[in-house]
């Protein structure tokens, strides 16, 4: 039997870089836009890799739930809700999007709803901090949402240029106006939904970056998430790395349960977050150690 050992980290909360603007009726924060660094520059200079989940991590709700607001009645019929099978969420969302198309929901309506999803607390402050240290941080999004939702939102927020790579389920509108969703890949991991294992993605990305750089490309890896499917990739982190579970969300609760049961070994540091500013505090401490 393996044992989980999770280290405690004291959080000192403060607030940074607050420049108010309008986010479709919501107070948020705006960035200065700078050109995205080239892959050559990133490979040469960046020392830290940050993985972000999307739903309820970058944004403050589940995009698949939010998009239902584009329906005339803003909710799904019971027969469709009840058709979900555990571990087959991607298939379920394919049915949801097909139903929405049948109900006359247009691309413009979906685009508008996705753009209006609010960011998670402090996450735009965190992106602004990462932007101000682009020479140190490479940013990757890994999500079981879909490419259309993620790119739409990131573009609207003005942060798409900060993201080196997005790993998510393919999605695009076909000639009939339907948003067609596909699975990301197949895998044999028993912990993950059938369409995506985030640990497999994380390991393959690190291996490809290491091969490209001719050695270990990053001093530390950070994983920021909220859900149960963010546990699996966090298991691949090492003792110098940090997992950031959103406090009181499934990822955090599962890690606490693992800590209490000591059922397996968890190598990374654990820093729960309520606001993206909590993550900024931790990163600033790590940056100061250099």
What mean pLDDT is reported for the chain? 84
- Band (pLDDT 50/70/90 cuts) for residue 244 is very high
53 is in an annotated binding site: yes
The 10 Å Cβ neighbour count of residue 133 is 14
Q: Among the listed ranges 78-82, 84-88, 123-127, which one has the minimum average pLDDT value?
A: 84-88
Mean pLDDT of 41-57: 81
- Does 59 map to a domain? yes
Q: In 102-154, where do the E strands start and end? A: 137-146
Pair type for strands 20-23 and 26-29 = antiparallel
Triad 163, 240, 287: Cα angle to 5°: 60
- Does 80 map to a domain? yes
- Does 116 map to a domain? yes
Query: 64 pLDDT exceeds 70?
Result: yes
Mean pLDDT of 201-214: 89
Which range of residues forms the domain containing residue 153? Answer: 48-289
174 is in an annotated binding site: no
- Does 247 map to a domain? yes
CA distance 93 to 101: 12
- Does 17 map to a domain? no
Mean pLDDT of 10-29: 35
Reduced to 3 states (helix: H, G, I; strand: E, B; else coil), residue 274 is coil
Please give the pLDDT value at position 3: 33
Reduced to 3 states (helix: H, G, I; strand: E, B; else coil), residue 67 is helix
Please give the pLDDT value at position 264: 61
The 10 Å Cβ neighbour count of residue 98 is 15
Query: 84 pLDDT exceeds 80?
Result: yes
User: Residues 104-152: pLDDT tens digits?
Assistant: 999 999 999 999 999 999 999 999 999 999 999 999 999 999 999 999 9
N residues, the chain: 290
Ramachandran region, residue 24 (left: φ > 0; alpha: ψ -120 to 50; beta: rest): left
CATH number of 86's domain = 3.40.50.1000
CA distance 167 to 50: 13
102 is in an annotated binding site: no
The 10 Å Cβ neighbour count of residue 77 is 12
- Does 6 map to a domain? no
Q: Which residues are catalytic?
A: 53, 55
- Band (pLDDT 50/70/90 cuts) for residue 45 is low
Mean pLDDT of 63-89: 92
Triad 124, 128, 132: Cα angle to 5°: 170
Please give the pLDDT value at position 42: 41
Number of domains the chain is built from: 1
User: Residues 151-161: pLDDT tens digits?
Assistant: 999 999 999 99
């Amino acid at each position: 039997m393996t044992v989980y050992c999770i280290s405690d980290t004291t959080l000192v909360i403060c607030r940074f870089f607050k420049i108010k603007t309008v986010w479709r009726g919501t107070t948020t924060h705006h960035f200065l836009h700078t050109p995205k660094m080239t892959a050559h520059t990133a490979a040469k200079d960046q020392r830290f890799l940050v993985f972000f989940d999307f739903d309820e991590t970058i944004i403050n709700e589940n995009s698949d739930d939010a998009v239902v607001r584009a329906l005339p009645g803003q909710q799904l019929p019971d027969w469709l809700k009840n058709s979900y099978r555990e571990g087959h969420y991607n298939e379920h969302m394919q049915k949801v999007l097909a139903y929405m198309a049948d109900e006359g929901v247009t691309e413009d309506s979906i685009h508008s709803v996705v753009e209006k999803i609010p960011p998670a607390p402090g996450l735009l402050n965190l992106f602004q901090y990462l932007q101000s240290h682009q020479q140190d941080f490479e940013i990757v999004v890994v999500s079981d949402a879909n490419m259309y939702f993620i790119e739409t939102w990131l573009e609207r927020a003005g942060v798409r240029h900060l993201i080196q790579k997005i790993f998510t389920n393919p999605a695009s509108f076909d000639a009939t106006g339907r948003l067609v969703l596909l699975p990301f890949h197949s895998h044999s991991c028993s912990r993950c939904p059938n369409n995506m294992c985030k640990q497999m993605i994380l390991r393959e990305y690190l291996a490809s970056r290491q091969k490209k750089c001719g050695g270990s490309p990053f001093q530390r890896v950070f994983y920021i998430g909220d859900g149960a499917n963010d546990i699996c990739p966090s298991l691949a982190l090492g003792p110098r790395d940090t997992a950031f579970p959103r406090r009181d969300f499934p990822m955090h609760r599962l890690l606490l349960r693992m800590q209490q049961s000591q059922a397996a070994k968890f190598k990374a540091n654990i820093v729960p977050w309520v606001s993206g500013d909590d993550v900024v505090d931790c990163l600033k401490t790590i940056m100061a150690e250099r």
